[in-house]
Structure formats: structure tokens, C-alpha cells
Structure 1
């Protein structure tokens, strides 16, 4: 039964727009709560939360002593486990099976807001799990991006979509496989970088694609025109327009860790950044290709802007397919165990090598499951990688200079600090790529050992081999918004 505020609200809305699915939604709620609770427990056990005074592990689980003396107890937690579900944890002996209710009972700073997000996450995950399972392999490339209902494998707010009604989730979320009718905002004197297509112009007006959710909630009262139909991708606000063209819209809504928009800075520097990274990636002997930004336009505000990018699926050769890394676990799952381990090891060697080599050249990728894609041959072996969305990479002018390159941009993307550069790369590579493929600390250790074997002993490699490993503290970031926070996890490979 729907018990929490978000669950009851989605159930009522679903009853209005798709009543035949209400029973399936209600049946999915317990599993969704357990999946989100497992992600939350991971954060409580492994992140540097200031109100946890001590942690004690035993055969029957982990006990967390809170600063106020209360005791929180739950099962053992592998920080790299995926697909886990947790029936309950106990606070001073009182059982909790809902992550939002647990956070409310903890009564910690930032907990009320975070509890609301957890409530949305569990309710929306249950709704996502009502989507029909895909039948067979994808018929079109973008269908790879519409197969997973559960979102980020470690993030407690993996499916939080505050502000989205049930009807809007069904209409816009990729797992429901809708066709989304974009809107077009005519903007005179728009800031345009690159060649803005003729079909998106009307005299002196640039016609900027707008997501319909944004049109209905944040751009109300603005005259908009009907736009092209598109298919939503993993990031929800990025859509496939067909013709090997993707559009990133300024859907200003918080989905996991931050409110996403497209800043004036991003519009201004998008093409120069894309050209630089493409030039740097060319030094990797074809191992990495960049889905380049073709054009960007906006009105100077974060709420109205769009970017046009090459589709990464255009990089598939004869007999090849391009798969988002987030979908590789499902892609490799049907293989016999030996083949699956071989395919994962081959991908990991390539991904670690590409990320380390590009970092040495001066570009720190945010290579997580959405942004990084693998080009697979007919046997499922990874031949090369494709990267998309350069909005949050970091570029080191000093490292570029050592290789005879220069950064043609200024501002927030530039950073020479080695710790921050490595965190950018390793944090995403571990929690967005290798950890989900491994699914356990033991298997991640095996993958890291194989992926780093026989590589040149650079300072960056030694940092990856060091204990501990830097990962984003996803729970702490929601309790104390305003920037990245980090946890340090033991290195399961014991490489040093």
C-alpha cells in the first residue's frame, strides 16, 4: 500500500491518467523502498557524516553510534554492491523499512529536505518499475538509454523527480519510452556559438529547443512554438532528434545531486571546449572519440539555452554497437561467466588507460555511466570509447602546456590542482563505471588489478593505487548541499 506522502500522491495521480497500472505501482513500492534504503545505508556506513561518532562491524552487521548516543544497526554493507535491497534497519531497536521515515527519525541537520527527496526517490522508482520490460535487443541505438528503471546504482536519490507528476514522468522519463514533443522559444539577439541550423531560425530569431516540462513550469507566459519530436535519453533532459543529432535542454530541475541547467558560461565556451578535447583525444590513437558540440544558443540566462551535439551512436562501425556504460552490466549479463569476466576486464583496461592518459595530457573526464559509452564488436568486446557532455570536465593548463597544448578558454573548467583533477576522474570512474560492473569489493579489486597492470608508474596511477579511493559522498552531499563532498574507501585491489 502507498504509505508516504509522495507514494500516495503518485498513486492518486496515476489513478487519474493510467488506472490500469495502479496495482502494479503499489506492488512495486516495497521493493523500491528497499532499494533506496540500501543505497542510504551504504552512505550512512561509509561516508564521513559528522553526527556519527563511531562505527563497529560484527558478524551480524554494522552498528553506528550517533553523536547523541543513539544506536543505528543494520546488515553488513559492501560499498561496491549493486542491485541490493534492504528490508529494514533499527534505530535504538525500532525497525524502519522506509528511507524517508528513517531520515525523519534521525533528525539530523538537512534531514527534513533529504527525507522528502528519499520519499520521491522510492515512489518514482516504483513508478519506473511499472514500465514494460524491453523485448529483445534494441531496435534503434537510443533504446539502450531507455532500459533501466532504477537510475544511479549507489545514489539514494537515484529516482527523485520532485515537481514531476505521474503523468509527466510517464510522458518524459526514458524508461517509459515516450516520444517527447519539444517546444521552440524564439529569441532575438540570442547568444549563438557554432552553426545554428537553418530549421531552428526564423529571420533574426534563433529558435531554441525547450523541454515541455520547462515550458509548463518555468517559462510560463513566454510565447513558444511547437518543436520537433524527440526520444529522451539517460539524462532525461537530453534527447535524440534523429539524424545523428542530440539536443541538451535547460531542464532546471534537481534529479540527483544538483539542479541542472545550461549556464551562459557553458554556451560561451562549449565549442572551444569541444574542439580542445577532440584535439587532445586524437593523441590516444583512436581509443577515444568525442561526441562534439556542434552549436549552442541561449538568451544569457540558465533557464533558456540548448546545445546541439553529435550523437555518440554515429561512431558505430560495421557490425558494431555503441552502448552507454551504465547499460554494460545488463549487456554482459547473458554471457557465460568466463566470457563476461573477459569482456569486463577488456573494457576496464581500456577505460582506465584512456582516463589516465587523457588526465596526463590535461583533461579530466567525468566518465560516469551516462557520459561514457563503449563501442562493442559482434562478440561484445570493447574496441574503443565515446565520450559526450563536456560541461563538467576539468582542464589543466599546466598539463596541457607540458604537451605543447593551450587551453583556449577561461573560467571554472580550468584547474591545475592534482587532487581535484584525480577526484574528478577517479570518483566518476569508480562509482559510475567500474564499481557497477564489478558489483562487489572483491570483484572491483580484481578488475582494478587487471586494468592497471603493466601501466607506466605515473603519479596519477600511484594515486589510483593508493588506499583509500576517493568517491563522492552522495548522502553527505544531499544533507549539506553546495558542492562536492568526498568519502575515502579502502582500495580492494591492495595494489600498493
Structure 2
């Protein structure tokens, strides 16, 4: 059956013909795979999230049927909560086949579905563009640096249907700024009088001009949001997995810039709260890492500045590579890139990595810190032979800190308030488990069965004997209900779903 191109797919093809015609054939060839990848992510959400218009779920040996409000039904294959491959090519809505997530969402006719359908359409088209821009099979494209490993993460978020949604970015801008296309980006500098800025931590001399602070600005932000500003010429940098965080070509601190557009779920500006708390949180995290026997390093925040605007702010962060001994052949990989690291395909390697990640992160949680340890924030230091040795964590903007737990373990409570601080056990466990288990480890394993095997091996080898560990091994696993959140624009904050614990199914 023929499924015609969607509006976004056609729009990207038309612009590609103008700005990069050499990619037209590869883009057309990537569309079917991109459609399946986004549809797979959407099916996971429909199968497991508490969507109010899904009134029943009937599981059979050959698939899953969703009963919809109003009497409709949606049929698909057996869902795997941790599968990262594109295994869903078609879903049947009242018997009619759908192979495009956007058209399926529009056909469901649910509140806010049209808006979400447009995002899914853009995600599918951008994903095909991202895949089209990869080197041809057989090309020597073996990553050598951490930055090159980051740029191997082509498909974006492993579970979010908006894995490659980049509203506001033209095709030319995606090719010019997105990490998977491996460009060099020229950052600008906006000069702001020091008295009009909030600066925490150090701010380097090269980013000062007398009594003015020079704030690095992403070129997309300069053109679309800060049009009234006239940035100075800045410096060249490589975009990292987060797109708005870049590694200067000349080396030195990584630069996290404001990018006021919605990528996956969130608008990527930088809040004043993040700037205010940056130095204190970084100092606190360094003290915490000292209690973890050298198994966890936290990249230091070297400086943070804002012109009292979330649209004009930047954070300077230590590169994770400083925590690897290059002379000994060590290297650092973001966990999201492990799918391209051959040793990580073995069950023994995954078990060893799971034990390292779980033991370190559970110990940190016991002490009072829940890390948002998804595949972008969490990195692993590997030996010259590929053995996982220790972890590196970056981006402290969304961790959670429990004063009660810190006091219980004789640790000083940082001088902080606001959203980073909570003693709520559910919130703390959701923060860690929802990122590490149903994000980093699940995506690395690639299936519920492989994740169960890795978790069981890690547990048998020994994990911290805490209530948190017991909850992790015996209860359902929390995960952000990412699709429900996109369909609930009036509901602030995170919403959650519970996934089956694969250990309970063994």
C-alpha cells in the first residue's frame, strides 16, 4: 500500500533540493525507516502511558489492542517498553493501516492531537534528514574523540516520539547546526555591562571587555530571538549531543548556550535559577563525588552568566575528557553512544556496566542526590580494552537534593532552595530511576529481556542494600509520560507512567 509523503516530509524534500541536492536520494531512502522509528516510539507511549482516552488494553500472544474512548480500537504488535529498534511498521486504527505517526495521531481525534501530530511530522522528516547526512556504508568514520562519539547519536531521544523535532529550524539550519551533521558552528558574543549581568563562579578574561561581560550566543538564537542585538565575532565550536552545548575547536570549556525553541519536550533557554545556583551546586557535587571512591566524577561548572534573561545566558563547563587518562588509552563515551560501541553488545559487558552505573548512582541517592542520569548526561570512562572503569556526570541543572538524607549521612546541606531541593522519596526515585533505568540502561540493553539480564547480573554481583535498591528491583519502573505531557499543554511539570519491571517477568 502506498503512503504519500506528509506535509513536513514534502517540505524538507523541497528545501533539500535547493540547499543540499546531493542528499535528496539518501533522504528519500531514509523516510520509511524514520517513519517506523517514530511510530515505534509512539506505540510505546500508547501502550504504557496513562492516556485518558485509552480506556482498555487487551494483550494477546500476537499483539496488543487498545480500546479507545468512543468505541474505537487500535491494534499493534506486542509492546516492548525498552526496545530501541524500529520494530513497529504499521498500526491498525479500526482496521485501517497507518505507517505515519503524524497521520495516526491526527486520525485519533484526541485533544491537542493536531498540534502533536504536526510535531511528529516534523520529527519524522528531521530524523530522515539526520540519517541521510551520515557517511556511506564502508566509509572510515570510526569515532576517536568524545565529541565524535556524541555525533554518532543520530536518532536523538531513544523513546520520545519527538526524538528529532526541531520546530523553527529550516533544513539549512539543521545542516549548519545539528551535531549529527558534524558542522563547525561560529558562536557570537553579546557584550553586556557587568552591572546588568548576574555572574556566578569564575568568568574568564577572554570573555570580558573592560566592564562588559561577553556572553556566548548560538547563531540560531542571534538570528531568531536576539535580532535587536549585534553579536561580535566569537569562536568556532563543535555542537555536541545537546545541540546547544558546544566544544570550542580551540579546546577549553564547553559552552552551554540558550536556544529558545522547543526540542523534544522543552524550550532550551537558561533560567535565572540555574545561573544563581550554578556555583553552589557545582561545589556541592564535587564534595559528593569525593564520597564515591573515585567511581564518579562530576564536570565542574566553571562560570555562568545571564543578562537577567533566559534568552541571553551561558554556562561554561569542564569537558568530561579531563577525567580520562589519555596516556593509558582511556576514553570517555556518552552512554547514548554505546549502541555504536561493539563491546557493549555483549551480555557480559552490559552486566558489568549496569553494576557500575547502579552501584554508583544508588549510593549517590542514598547519600542524598538523585542524578538525572540519562544517556546524554551520563558518560563512562573506558579502559584501552573497552572495560567500563568509572562514570562522569555533566549538567547539574536538574538533579534533586535531599537535605534529610544529607544530614543522615553527615554531609553539609548546600545553601539552596527551589526546585532542586526535595525530601520526597517518590520524586527522588523517579528522577534517578526514570533516567538511569528506563533511559540509559534500557536504551543500552535495547530490549526488556536484555535489560532484565543485565539487572539480574548486577544484583547478583552486589548492589547497595538500601530501600531504594529494593524498590528498584521489585516495583514498577517510573518513566516520564512524554506523550501525555505533549498532549497536556495546560498541566505544568512532569507527568509519569509506570513500566513493567523486567526482573519481575523472569
TM-score after normalising by structure 2: 0.95
The aligned counterpart of 1:433 is 440
Who is 2:214 aligned against? 207
Q: The residue matched to 1:358 in structure 2 has which SS?
A: helix
Residue 25 of structure 1: which of 4, 13, 27 is its match? 27
Distance 1:2 1:431 in 2: 34
The Cα offsets for residues 398-454 of structure 1, whole Å up to 9 and x where unpaired, read as 111112221222211101101000000000002221101211111111111122233
1:464 aligns to 2:483 (yes or no): no
Match of 1:38 in 2: 40
Instruction: Look up the SS of the partner of 2:132 in the other structure.
Output: coil
1:86-130 deviation line (CA, Å, top 9, x unaligned): 221111111111100000000101211110110010000000001
Between the aligned partners of 1:306 and 1:75, the Cα distance in structure 2 is 45
Report the 3-state secondary structure (helix = DSSP H, G, I; strand = E; otherwise coil) of the residue aligned with 1:81: coil
- Structure 1 runs of 4+ aligned residues shifted over 3 Å read none
Could you tell me which of 31, 56, 59 is aligned with 2:58? 56
For structure 1, the 5+ residue unaligned runs are none
1:175 corresponds to which residue? 180
CA 1:108–1:495 in 2, change beyond 3 Å: closer, same or farther? Answer: closer
For 2:22 and 2:477, the matched residues in 1 are separated by 47
1:245 counterpart residue number? 253
Offset of 1:4 from its aligned partner? 1.3
State the alpha-carbon separation in 1 of the partners of residues 89 and 293 from structure 2.
49
How much does 1:455 deviate? 2.6
Q: Tell whether 2:332 aligns with 1:325.
A: no
Aligned equivalents of 1:231, 1:243: Cα separation in 2: 10
1:154-175 Cα shifts (integer Å, max 9, x gaps): 1100000011000000000000
On the 8 A contact 1:150/1:158 being kept in 2, the answer is yes
> Aligned with 1:252: secondary structure?
strand
Q: Greater shift after overlay, 454-463 or 377-386?
A: 454-463
* Distance in 1, Cα, partners of 2:321 & 2:455: 28
1:137 & 1:345 partners in 2: Cα distance?
25
Q: Which residue of 1 aligns with 2:150?
A: 145
Q: CA deviation at 1:2?
A: 6.8
Residue 94 of structure 2 is matched in structure 1 by 92
Quick check: 1:295 aligned with 2:300? no
* Deviation (angstroms), 1:458: 1.0
Confirm or deny: 8 A CA contact 1:2 1:26 kept in the other structure. Answer: no
Q: In structure 1, what is the Cα distance between the partners aligned to 2:31 and 2:141?
A: 26
Farther-moved stretch of structure 1 (407-416 vs 450-459) = 450-459
Query: What is the match of residue 406 of structure 2?
Result: 400
CA contact (8 A) 1:326 1:432 kept: no
8 Å Cα contact 1:2-1:11 kept in structure 2: no
Q: State the alpha-carbon separation in 2 of the partners of residues 68 and 463 from structure 1.
A: 37
| Structure 1: distance between partners of 2:161 and 2:141 | 30
Could you say which residue in structure 2 is the equivalent of 1:386? 392
1:351-430 matches, cutoff 5 A: 351-404=357-410, 405-430=412-437
Give TM-score, length-normalised by structure 1.
Answer: 0.97
Structure 1 vs Structure 2 CA RMSD: 1.5
> Are residue 229 (structure 1) and residue 231 (structure 2) matched?
no
Work out whether 1:349 is the aligned partner of 2:351. no
Determine whether 1:489 maps to 2:495: no
Q: Which residue of 2 aligns with 1:72?
A: 74
Name the CA shift for 1:492/1:170 in 2 (closer, same or farther; >3 Å).
Answer: same
What is the Cα deviation at residue 60 of structure 1? Answer: 2.6
Task: Work out the CA distance in 2 between the residues paired with 1:464 and 1:88.
Answer: 33
Count of residues in correspondence between the two structures: 492
Q: Is contact 2:362–2:464 with CA below 8 Å preserved after alignment?
A: no
Whole-angstrom distance in 1 between the partners of 2:349 and 2:383: 11
8 A contact 1:465–1:495 mirrored in 2: no
Structure 1 residues 58 and 495: CA distance shift in structure 2, 3 A:
closer
Q: 1:466 touches 1:495 (CA, 8 Å); kept in 2? A: no
Matches of 2:349 and 2:141 in 1, distance apart?
20
Task: List runs of 5+ in structure 2 lacking aligned partners.
Answer: none
**CA contact under 8 A between 2:201 and 2:303: conserved in structure 1?**
yes
Write the deviation string for residues 283-332 of structure 1: whole angstroms up to 9, x where unpaired: 00100001110000111111000000000011111210000000112113
Q: Give the one of 305, 308, 312 matched to 2:316.
A: 308
Q: 1:472 Cα shift?
A: 1.2
Between 479-488 and 142-151, the greater mean CA deviation after superposition: 479-488
- Per the TM alignment, residue 495 of structure 1 is displaced from its structure 2 partner at its CA by 9.2
Q: What SS is found at the alignment partner of 1:254? A: strand
- Distance (whole Å) between structure 1 residues aligned to residue 253 and residue 87 of structure 2: 38
1:369 and 1:2 mapped to 2: Cα distance?
Answer: 34
Distance 1:85 1:495, change over 3 A: closer
Q: What is the alpha-carbon distance in structure 1 between the residues aligned to residue 25 and residue 342 of structure 2?
A: 32
Distance in structure 1 (CA, Å) of the matches to 2:54 and 2:124: 24
Distance 1:239 1:477 in 2: 28
